[in-house]
Amino acid sequence: MQDRYDVVVVGAGNAALCAALAAKESGASVIVLERAPKAERGGNTAFTAGAMRFAYNGVEDILALCPELSESDIETTDFGAYTTDDFYNDMCRVTEFRTDPDLADILVKRSFETLKWMQSKGVRFAPIYGRQAFKLDGKFKFWGGLTLETWGGGPGLVDSLVAAAESADIEIVYEARALELQRDGGTRVTGVVVQAGEQQQTISAAAVILASGGFEANPEWRTRYLGPGWDLAKVRGSRFNMGDGIRMALDIGAMPWGHWSGAHAVGWDLNAPHYGDLAVGDGFQKHSYPFGIMVNADGKRFVDEGADFRNYTYAKYGRQILDQPQQFAWQIFDQKVEFLLRDEYRIRQVTKVTADSISALARKLDGVDPDQFVKTIEEFNAAVKTEVAFNPNEKDGRRTVGLPIDKTNWANPLDTPPYEAYAVTCGLTFTFGGLRINEQAEVLDTEDNPIPGLYACGELVGGIFFFNYPGGTGLTNGSVFGRIAGVTAGAQVQATV
């Protein structure tokens, strides 16, 4: 590790590595500082399934990213289209129209070209069969605007980007924690102080790019900003996302921005470890709830499980689960839908009970009022409009009528044993609050002026997600603004040569 580089990137996940690669393309010398050891590299990216939301106009765009698809694949798949208008409207709708319109517009309009750029760096993509499309009448149909994932999921994405970085002579230093930003006596950022082992070192640079994630692994910050009870949430991903990048920037006057009391949080296995487990990855998630029901400790339903496709609701239902008595829920399914359950329901590390009757199942649901649970099932079954056809590939309107909380799609009576139940709690993915950036990914100060030499991308940027999140947008957001940060920083370096 030298004392000076043109660009220092703090973090080594998807956003950070895209930033590093883009900066390197300008001819800059680049170092990437990763707080984690090599075995845990990649930040939250390594814990994802690798799904990436992007705008596309039809199968031709899919083929441009997935040239390996066969004629049979194309003939048996309805990829549909997901236009820039579709993507932008989803961003507005799920964030309750609070997303920054200019940043959202950039995210949407540059999504496809950014994936093409990543492909040029060695990242490969494949359709998300089985998770985003079910085969009915011999044909898959994709739904919810989410179509592709990276080969090898999140770990595969990290490996591809690291390989690209190494072949581009980008230095990656592990177990190197950035502690504070250095300035020139004025406002310009000129480097970072780094702790590597027992040694501290100041690295000078023309530009610093912060891409070290949110503060989801920091229970004190979670409680301070998200609110009481969030210290009890499990963390889906990296144990190293303590908010370091955000703290360093705030310390020099950066503007805090976005939804600081909001976060991406999902249903997560009740007995999962406190932090993510790379051996299991995202297998602790439980996202097939639209095809069953969820009950709390009182034996009652508390959300509309069929309000929308799961990738428009899963990121907010973790918070709903955390708000329930004892911070848990049970997901209930019968055999009519068992074939629709995602692979994560079949991992070895799962909290699951089964029974041949509802009354027997009630006695196995730890912590649940059994009498009220049986009553809930009876009332739910009686309220289903069974004359409406069930179709998992579309919002089918098969609903209940007359319940305190009706289920608006995919409602089936729970009447076909054996019954299965899965215990879940809240799994926190990433926090929504962070730093304010402009369209060039420059960090803004509290007067809304760019801080010279400082850029940010990825999960530590605020103002893009509020309340909720369209599934697969996080990685795309990191890639798009990571590339922008790298290009802008690289241009700054060239301008000062």
Q: DSSP letters of 432-459?
A: S-EE-B-TT-EEEBTTS-EEEEEEE-GG
Angstrom distance (rounded) from CA 80 to CA 399:
26
Structure tokens at 426: 């809240």
DSSP string, 308-362: S-GGGTHHHHHHHHHTSGGG-EEEEE-TTSGGGS-GGGGSSS--EEEESSHHHHH
pLDDT, one tens digit per residue, over 230-242 is: 999 999 999 999 9
Structure tokens at 299: 């034996």
Q: Name all contacts of 137-144 with Cβ < 8 Å and 24+ positions apart.
A: 138/76, 139/76, 139/77, 139/78, 140/76, 140/77, 140/78, 141/77, 141/78, 141/80, 141/393, 141/394, 142/77, 142/78, 142/79, 142/80, 143/309, 143/393, 143/394, 144/309, 144/310, 144/311, 144/312, 144/471
- Residue 494, pLDDT > 90, answer no
Percent of the chain, pLDDT > 90? Answer: 95
Which helix (H) or strand (E) segment holds residue 113: the answer is helix 111-120
The pLDDT value given to residue 263: 98
The pLDDT value given to residue 67: 96
Identical topology for domains 4-216+432-496 and 265-427:
no
pLDDT, one tens digit per residue, over 368-383 is: 999 999 999 999 999 9
pLDDT, one tens digit per residue, over 387-439 is: 999 999 999 999 999 999 999 999 999 999 999 999 999 999 999 999 999 99
Mean of the pLDDT values across residues 451-461? 98
- The four Cα atoms 395, 396, 399, 404 give a dihedral, to 10 degrees, of 10
Work out the widest C-alpha separation in the chain, in whole angstroms.
75
Domain ranges of the chain: 4-216+432-496, 265-427
The pLDDT value given to residue 495: 83
**Fold (CATH) for 265-427:** Flavocytochrome C3; Chain A, domain 1 (3.90.700)
- Residue 324, pLDDT > 70, answer yes
8 Å CB contact between 81 and 56:
yes
The pLDDT value given to residue 275: 96
Residue 37 CB burial class (10 angstroms; 0-12, 13-18, ≥19): exposed
pLDDT band at 353 (very low <50, low <70, confident <90, very high): very high
The pLDDT value given to residue 497: 62
Chain centroid, CA 451 distance in Å: 28
Q: How far are the Cα atoms of 14, 45, 58, 400 from residue 50, in angstroms, in the given order?
A: 10, 8, 21, 34
The pLDDT value given to residue 132: 87
8 Å CB contact between 213 and 459:
yes
The pLDDT value given to residue 496: 78
Q: What is the 3-state secondary structure (H, E, C) of 37-66?
A: CHHHCCHHHHHCCCEECCCECCHHHHHHHC
Architecture of the domain whose range is 4-216+432-496: 3-Layer(bba) Sandwich (3.50)
Angstrom distance (rounded) from CA 335 to CA 418:
6
Helix axes 153-167, 14-25, angle to 10 degrees: 20
Structure tokens at 81: 């289209």
Closest C-alpha among 345, 24, 397, 6 to residue 203: 6
pLDDT, one tens digit per residue, over 240-261 is: 999 999 999 999 999 999 999 9
Helix axes 101-109, 111-120, angle to 10 degrees: 50
Residue 109 CB burial class (10 angstroms; 0-12, 13-18, ≥19): middle
Q: What is the mean pLDDT of the chain?
A: 96
Mean of the pLDDT values across residues 322-341? 97
The pLDDT value given to residue 240: 97
Contacts of residue 120, Cβ cutoff 8 Å, sequence gap at least 6? none
Residue 448 CB burial class (10 angstroms; 0-12, 13-18, ≥19): exposed
Contacts of residue 454, Cβ cutoff 8 Å, sequence gap at least 6? 181, 189, 207, 208, 210, 249, 252, 254, 442, 443
Structure tokens at 164: 């690209």
pLDDT, one tens digit per residue, over 63-74 is: 999 999 999 999
Structure tokens at 278: 């790379």
Peptide bond into 155 cis (omega under 30): no
- Given phi > 0 = left and psi -120 to 50 = alpha, else beta, which region is 229? left
Phi, psi torsion values for 188, nearest 5 degrees: -70, 130
Number of neighbouring beta carbons within 10 Å of residue 316: 19
Which helix (H) or strand (E) segment holds residue 421: the answer is strand 419-431
Chain centroid, CA 17 distance in Å: 17
Mean of the pLDDT values across residues 318-342? 97
